[in-house]
Structure 1
Amino acid sequence: MSKFTMQDIKGVIPAMLSFFDQEENVDLSCTERMVDFMIDHGADGFYLTGSTGACFTMNAEERNSVVKTVVQKVNGRVPVIVHVGDIGTKKSIELAKYAYEAGADAISSVPPFYWKFSKEDIYRYYKDIAESTPLPMVVYNIQLAGLMDMDLILRLSDLPQVQGLKYTARSHDEMGYLKEKLGKDFMIYSGCDEMAFSGLCAGADGIIGSFYNLFPDLYKKILKKVQESDIQGGMKLQKIADEVIFSALKYDFPSVLHGMMRWRGLEAGYSRRPFYTYKAEELSALKEEIKKIKEKYQTTELDIFGI
């Protein structure tokens, strides 16, 4: 059973990568190492088997193996949210039930995608999944699956099990309005890595993102700057993170993160096709760009990459 309430799930939450071996099998040993690394460097929780976690390249058994491994390795140190989205409500419900039985603290899902679903279809999808387990549900608003309008989000928030929103959009004025309207007990997570500082300032309870796999420690410092009302300091750290992100996004994502994590001395596994696995020399130009960012800001924050 979960030891955390929805209100305990806050702070810096990596949308965890899934790690594969060279034969593209799920690498559970690597997954365990990454759990410890991220917790040791400031992660306040995990968001599993989402789009960053290449969930749609895995079957249900593989996704469940990641969930079981992470929940056991975390061992109650931080909360775990499991993304259960799939093309098909029945499939998502089965993933949600497994997450509950494995000991997850919350579930989440992108809205149904690929086909053009109506608002009523989307509402029923979330209602059916939310009612399938006792776990709180985090609705996921993201451009990749089609942004929901405010009316639908507010309607979904009336469902008893829907207790959070992962908001991956740049309209932080709307996100702040939703936080104000829905109240302190309805948790909102900003999902744009490059706008984490802005999202936290707008009232987000936490941040969930891909680059927190790479440097959760840097984002923990950004969170601290917000808590201290140090606007100038927070903006500087965000700019450093952003320049690294913009340089990295010239490459295939999220595959590039595996290569960059190796710069931190980590055995960070491989991607699964069609995602590309970079050879070390293919990222040499990126490493040079990051050296220039380090020199530009005269910062020690990027010393973690050994450059």
Structure 2
Amino acid sequence: MKHYDVTEIKGVIPANLTIFDEKENLDDSRTKEVLDFLLDHDADGFYLTGSTGACFTMTMEERMHTVETVINHVNGRKPVIVHVGDIGTKKSIELAKQAEKAGADAISSVPPFYWKFSQDDIFSYYRDISESVDLPMIVYNIALAGIMDEGLLQRIAQLDHVKGLKYTARSHDEMGFLKEKLGKDFMIYSGCDEMALSGFCFGADGIIGSFYNVIPDIYKKIENSFREGNMPEAIRLQKMADEFIFACLKYDFPSVLHNLLRWRGVDGGYIRRPFCNYEEDDLQALKEAIREIRDRLGAKELDVFEI
């Protein structure tokens, strides 16, 4: 059973990596090590089997196994959102039911993609999934699956079990409008790591993103500085995080996140093909770039990397 109301799911929430071993099998031991690292650094929740988690390289059984492994290990210490998105509604319903049984606190989904689905098709997709379980649904608006316009989002938000939106776009004026329009109990999560501070400024209840796997502590400082009204410090930290992210995005994403975890002393395992796995020699230029950012900005926060 779930442990948290959706209105309690706030703050810095990593979009979790799925951890594989050298032979591309799920690695439960390394998964738990990464979770312990995130728990130790005050992550406020977990978002499982999403795009950062390479969910579309996984079988249904693997996605379900990952959900069970994480929920059992977290054991109610933090809320867990399970991404159940797929092209087929029937598959997503099956994933949603398993997430509910495993003890998830909420489900989430990208809209159906690949084919050009109509707005009615997309609305029906969310209606059918959200009505299949007694869990809050967090709609996921992201360009990779096709951005839904504000009108469609408001229509979907009227469904009984739809209680939130993960908004991965830079148009924070629209995100802020939706938060104002849909009310304080309709949860909005900003999904652009490089615009986390902007997300908070425009009313986001929390942030869900990929780089929170490796620098959750920096983003907790951004949030805390914002909440305390220390905007100069929040801006400094966001600019530093952005330079770090831009340096990393010169490499295949999310492959490089696994290497970044290793540089923090955490065994982040491997990713599954067709994503590449970098050897350390492949990333010497990235190490130099991070050192340069750290030294130029006086960013002691980046001392956490063993480079």
Answer whether TM exceeds 0.5 for this pair. Answer: yes
Aligned positions of 1:164-183 closer than 5 A: 164-183=164-183
Aligned positions of 1:1-307 closer than 5 A: 1-307=1-307
Corresponding residue SS for 2:32: helix
Look up the equivalent residue of 1:229 and give its one-letter code.
G
Separation (CA, whole Å) in 2 of partners of 1:102 and 1:44: 19
Tell me the number of residue pairs that the alignment of Structure 1 and Structure 2 aligns.
307
Separation (CA, whole Å) in 2 of partners of 1:229 and 1:176: 19
Separation (CA, whole Å) in 1 of partners of 2:42 and 2:193: 16
Separation (CA, whole Å) in 2 of partners of 1:22 and 1:148: 38
Structure 1 segments (4+ residues) deviating >6 Å: none
Separation (CA, whole Å) in 2 of partners of 1:266 and 1:33: 7
Alpha-carbon offset, residue 219 of structure 1: 0.4
Q: Deviations over 1:96-135 (max 9, x none)?
A: 0000000000000000000000000000000000000000
Separation (CA, whole Å) in 2 of partners of 1:299 and 1:168: 27
Look up the equivalent residue of 2:70 and give its one-letter code.
V
Q: Deviations over 1:234-258 (max 9, x none)?
A: 0100011100100000000000000
Separation (CA, whole Å) in 2 of partners of 1:124 and 1:257: 35
Separation (CA, whole Å) in 2 of partners of 1:287 and 1:36: 25
Separation (CA, whole Å) in 2 of partners of 1:248 and 1:130: 36
Q: Deviations over 1:41-91 (max 9, x none)?
A: 120000000000000000000001110000000000000000000110000
Corresponding residue SS for 2:251: coil
Alpha-carbon offset, residue 306 of structure 1: 2.5
Separation (CA, whole Å) in 2 of partners of 1:180 and 1:87: 31
Aligned-pair identity (%):
65
Separation (CA, whole Å) in 2 of partners of 1:306 and 1:270: 19
Alpha-carbon offset, residue 266 of structure 1: 1.1
Alpha-carbon offset, residue 198 of structure 1: 0.5
Alpha-carbon offset, residue 230 of structure 1: 1.4
Separation (CA, whole Å) in 2 of partners of 1:92 and 1:282: 37
Separation (CA, whole Å) in 1 of partners of 2:273 and 2:76: 33
Alpha-carbon offset, residue 18 of structure 1: 0.3
Gaps of 5+ in 2: none
Gaps of 5+ in 1: none
Corresponding residue SS for 2:270: coil
Alpha-carbon offset, residue 299 of structure 1: 1.7
> CA RMSD, aligned part only?
0.6
Separation (CA, whole Å) in 2 of partners of 1:111 and 1:186: 19
Separation (CA, whole Å) in 1 of partners of 2:262 and 2:35: 15
Separation (CA, whole Å) in 2 of partners of 1:196 and 1:305: 22
Corresponding residue SS for 1:229: coil
Alpha-carbon offset, residue 271 of structure 1: 0.8
Corresponding residue SS for 1:139: strand
Corresponding residue SS for 1:278: coil
